[in-house]
Amino acid sequence: MWRRSLSSRLILYWIVGSLLVFFSTPVTVQIPLAFFWGRDHSHAPEVWTTKRAREAVIDALRRAPDGTLYVEPTEALRKHKERNPDFRYAVFDPATGALLPGSSADLAENFKALMGNVEVFGSLFHLSNDANVRARGYIRTTVTPFGKLGTIVYGSNFHWDDVFYQLHAYLVTENLLAYLPLCALISIIGFSVVRGGLAPVRMAAGKIRQMDVDTLNQRIPDANLPSEILPFVEAVNDAFQRVHEGVARQRRFAANSAHELRTPIAILCARLDKMEDGPLKREMQRDASRIKTILEQLLVLAQIEERGDANGTPELDLPEAIRSTIADYMPIAFDNNRHIDYDAPDAKIIVRGYRWAVESVVTNLIENAARAEPNGGTIIVRVLTNATVEVVDHGPGIALADREMIFEPFWRKSDATRGTGLGLAIAKELMDKLGGRIWVEETPGGGATFKLAFPTNMSSMFRPFTQNHDSKRQKL
Ligand SMILES: Nc1ncnc2c1ncn2[C@@H]1O[C@H](COP(=O)(O)OP(=O)(O)OP(=O)(O)O)[C@@H](O)[C@H]1O
Ligand SMILES: [Mg+2]
């Protein structure tokens, strides 16, 4: 996972890169600079040499069985002396000035006045009476394994391998540890910069996630996008544009096809009417009427987009629109020995929606309910003050598992029933377009209760391209 994260990759590269710099700078920058740009009398390489000599002296400190400290002429000191014939050293007690055995007395002689009186924090020096003008020494009070002691070294010459000694000094653990907080700080900065920089990308992703076939005319905002991401978002927007045009083409094609089929169907119906009465005529008329219904429904679906009004959705009085729909359907219900009870508040309930759309949805629900309602039963249509409509029947109801499926186009519980299975799909499509919702519940005591929630405020106007409440639904 971390390999996919831009910020962790950036931080990893930064850490690896800075570690490389950390380890290579002493070789590539510090040592060459110190070597070539050292100031008068204190060329850095000479300081390294004297420091190295001092360390060899401290390593040679020993305590005799009687407790006295002394400097043992160790192998390291002997080798150093071999390479630097003028090398001398002295160690003294900084409190008393007493010289430790093994020290060079004549070197210490030069510092007699200081020893025991002054604490020296480190000083490079040259003995003026020394003919070798390049000879350097170093005096310093040092904390050694045997306590605080004064050390003096003199007469070491710079050798190339002193560079390695100094390199090691640069790369000690303390320096590496000092680097860690800096590393952590830059990691935090790197992480927040990448996160902040990618915030518009996350916003764009959220927007893309909301896109569906109804919102294809919308575009992902590209303001504030990092220039590296911009081409990607532009490509996505171009793709949406192409898909949008393709979908519009297909919708036009479906609408035109359905429209074109109307005339031959009308002619077919007219010709059937002229046929002699008989069972065949009645069957063919039923078939033709079914084809006609399917065609009408396909037309409604195909025209949904075109019939949206760019100037906004008109307002309508919900109880009044439903009352007139029921009035139209009442005779049919009566003929089929079903009754319709209408229950609505007296006050107006203003919702946003097209009358044809509301009528189409409610008629479909009443038709379904009338088909489900037992012979002689009563369908209840209820309008609630919160702009919700309920169509209640007492039929077999809708099984829990089918409650999503019934809104799919052409879905029918059984082929034995009349109908095409398009009614609820169209109702859902229209409710989505209105910015409302349709769902089904169980009628207490058995049956199905279909519910419609209509939008009442300005924010949910009928828009040809509105955001869906149910992204899972399928389109025709
Ligand atoms: N009130 C209801 N009670 C029981 N089942 C129902 C009810 N309403 C719908 N259904 C089931 O859902 C299916 C789909 O309904 P839908 O209205 O989409 O299609 P249809 O009524 O079969 O045909 P169309 O409405 O296109 O003429 C129905 O065939 C029926 O099986
Ligand atoms: Mg139906």
Task: Spell out the alpha helix ranges (H) of 26-74.
Answer: 31-37, 44-59
Q: Are residues 368 and 399 in the same domain?
A: yes
Report pLDDT for 339. Answer: 95
The confidence band for 326, taking pLDDT boundaries of 50, 70 and 90, is very high
* 28 within a domain of the structure (yes/no): no
Q: Are residues 344 and 451 in the same domain?
A: yes
The residues facing 91 across adjacent strands are: 151
Q: Which residues line ligand 1 (CB under 6 A)?
A: 297, 364, 368-369, 372, 393, 395-396, 398, 406, 411-413, 417, 419-425, 448
In this structure, the residue with its CA closest to atom 31 of ligand 1 is 413
Q: Which of 307, 326, 358 is the last residue of a domain?
A: 307
Match 């078939």 to its residue by tokens: 287
Report pLDDT for 280. Answer: 92
The answer to whether 63 and 146 are in contact (CB under 8 A) is yes
Q: Are residues 335 and 461 in the same domain?
A: yes
Distance in Å, CA 415 to ligand 1 centroid? 11
Cβ-Cβ contacts under 8 Å for 354 (sequence gap 6 or more): 307, 309, 313, 314, 316, 434, 462
Tell me which ligand sits closest to the C-alpha of residue 300.
Answer: 1
Measured CA to CA in angstroms, residue 217 lies from 16, 296, 363 at distances of 46, 27, 31
Pairwise CA distance, residues 291 & 296, whole Å: 9
Q: Which of 307, 325, 341 is the last residue of a domain?
A: 307
186-221 pLDDT, tens per residue? 888 888 988 888 888 888 889 899 888 878 888 888
Report pLDDT for 366. Answer: 95
Task: Spell out the alpha helix ranges (H) of 74-172.
Answer: 75-83, 105-109, 162-170
The confidence band for 235, taking pLDDT boundaries of 50, 70 and 90, is very high
* 176 within a domain of the structure (yes/no): no
Mean pLDDT of all residues in 94-116: 93
Q: Which of 307, 338, 372 is the last residue of a domain?
A: 307
Report pLDDT for 139. Answer: 94
Distance in Å, CA 381 to ligand 1 centroid? 17
In this structure, the residue with its CA closest to atom 4 of ligand 1 is 397
CA-based angle 138:48:145, to the nearest 5?
A: 65
234 pLDDT higher than 70: yes
35 pLDDT higher than 80: no
Distance in Å, CA 398 to ligand 2 centroid? 13
The confidence band for 34, taking pLDDT boundaries of 50, 70 and 90, is confident
* 168 within a domain of the structure (yes/no): no
Q: Count CB atoms within 10 A of the CB of residue 355.
A: 14
- What phi and psi values does residue 151 have, to the nearest 5 degrees? -125, 140
Tell me which ligand sits closest to the C-alpha of residue 409.
Answer: 1
SS3 label, residue 402 = helix
Read off the CATH number of the domain in which 126 is found.
Answer: 3.30.450
Which atom of ligand 1 lies closest to the CA of 425?
A: 18
Give residue 319's domain range. Answer: 310-476
* 428 within a domain of the structure (yes/no): yes
Q: Tell which one of 412, 417, 442 to mutate to probe ligand 1, the residue whose CB is within 8 A of the most ligand atoms.
A: 412
273-316 pLDDT, tens per residue? 999 999 999 889 888 887 887 787 777 766 666 655 545 668 89
Report pLDDT for 94. Answer: 92
236-250 pLDDT, tens per residue? 999 999 999 998 888
* 187 within a domain of the structure (yes/no): no
Tell me which ligand sits closest to the C-alpha of residue 338.
Answer: 1
Read off the CATH number of the domain in which 298 is found.
Answer: 1.10.287
Report pLDDT for 430. Answer: 85
Residue type at position 384:
L
The confidence band for 463, taking pLDDT boundaries of 50, 70 and 90, is very low
Q: Which of 378, 424, 388 is nearest to 404 (CA)?
A: 424
SS3 label, residue 342 = strand
Which atom of ligand 1 lies closest to the CA of 393?
A: 1
In this structure, the residue with its CA closest to atom 10 of ligand 1 is 368
Q: Residue 398 corresponds to which tokens in the numbers above?
A: 């809708």
